[in-house]
Chain A
């Protein structure tokens, strides 16, 4: 590690973790019908269990997230090189009696970011950016307020996330991060990078995204960033993983944003290793057709 001057052993492994959704309102023994927040259960199947229940519609008990990260720490931490962590670190806004606030979203993100720092940092008090295992967080649609809505920076939210992620985002990228909430981390210096892409700027459910063709559109600015960064990485002979919360598939992105993003991944196939995303909770893969994206883009332009 050129920055810290320390030797590091490469393991040839990394972790992708996503959509933790810890819910501090989760109470064991309450009613699943009341999203595990309150109420007396009607029947046995309606009881919120200690570690959470699959397919119930409830978010994660905080305990589930804590136990997950404890398990990762005890079993994987010393065997991996980096962690790609693709967002949504807050409960859903599905309880009318307890609507989410912006402060709650930031607070929970702060708690999870602190936990990730504790687990993967090198414990160097003089340099909080010194990590044994690099962590690359990206922004989820539930990590912003109001839900899904995220404007082009600099905004109070981009600044707040820089504050929360200051140990993860390289210092020289602060101004760019303020604009785009996206950044690059060299996980193997000079060789391998991971891009944390703020996919909310391409996400059609973000009311502030109309297309990726106008220069004032957040998606246009994000793609501008992506293009220059990819070209610089190519120039340096580096390879790169793409990462972000909302997967770049047609149903999620505005059409022009989808076409352009897919085309970038196609035309930089000499350096892009792959793309890792979250949001959909379903473990699967989708082949993205670069040639078709170019045709669609030309047709629509």
Chain B
């Protein structure tokens, strides 16, 4: 389906080409980063080129989101623009990118959250996530499952995985006998059936907690960090060795600037990515926290 869509619309094809060019550039930069990271690894766990890495994140991932945010129009506008463009496309291919709805933009993304570490690559850190449980609190049948026990499911999954491994063995007698008992049509179908590619989400399935505020939607996070310089200083300057100097502090929360997120849906993250791309002070603050307020800078 995407193949035919790509072939149909010149403008979408152009977007594809843009993306491919970007990918090539990204790949080169990423490889450069990976090589540096490997060198750093060989020497130890000392951070290296992390600012450059974050700049790449901004210039690629966040920039692409920002670009798409600029194309977001209301649904009515998008519909009428699409109609107009179909007519115009017949006459002349235009370079202007196709408008999209906010819903289309949000649905195509998911968010990969990468946590700060306890190891003091920067300062030690971890995160507390808060999520919506308001609709579950008063349920009386909470936790009662009407489904078959998990053991049955995992037993059958174990068999599926076992069989899948055998399917790849052309000389295996097991495979020969299984295939021959299934008939040639099934054999053909099975061979071309890659179960590691998902089918599209059926129409009519509502968007989940990552997209629309509902039960289990993450609502806020609190990022904790331990200021090692301060802790060590306090320990060494204290005359009392038994004094408890070690503690974590709140570094930042998702509802304060530049995050300013009132909920942690994909849409909120995309808005944040757009802000971080265009707003330098916000970006600087974000990067400082990305490095757990350690003051890290590339050499």
Interfacial residues, chain A to chain B (CB-CB below 8 A):
1-2, 10-21, 35, 49-60, 64-65, 67-68, 70-72, 75-76, 80, 86, 88, 92, 94, 170, 172-173, 175-176, 179-180, 184, 188-192, 212-216, 220-221, 223-225, 227-230, 232, 235-236, 239, 247-251, 260, 262-292, 294-295, 297-298
Contacts and interface: CB of A to CB of B under 8 A. Distances in A.
B294 A287 contact: no
**Top 9 A-B residue pairs of the complex, sorted by shortest distance between their CB atoms:** A57-B46, A19-B117, A57-B44, A283-B116, A223-B196, A21-B119, A281-B121, A215-B168, A172-B151
A286 B112 contact: yes
Contact of B246 (A51, A266, A289): A51
A179 B161 contact: yes
Contact of A20 (B54, B119, B160, B289): B119
B120 A176 contact: no
Contacts of B130: 12-13
Given A94-B44, A266-B108, A295-B6, A274 B218 contact: yes
Given A15-B128, A213-B194, A221-B161, A54 B114 contact: no
B281 interface: no
B256 to A, nearest CB: 15
18 contacts: A20-B117, A59-B119, A68-B126, A80-B128, A94-B44, A184-B150, A227-B196, A239-B209, A247-B112, A267-B198, A269-B210, A276-B113, A282-B114, A284-B114, A285-B269, A286-B114, A287-B109, A288-B110
Contacts, number: 342
A50 B168 contact: no
Interface in B266-282: 266, 269-270, 273
Contacts of B54: 282, 284
A50 B232 contact: yes
Nearest to B30: A251
A266 B211 CA distance: 11
A216 B246 contact: no
Given A58-B44, A192-B216, 8 more contacts: A18-B117, A49-B228, A54-B294, A92-B45, A94-B43, A277-B115, A281-B122, A282-B50
A190 B46 contact: no
Contacts of B290: 282-284
A212 B195 CA distance: 11
A148 to B, nearest CB: 10
Contacts of A212: 196
Contacts of B3: 298
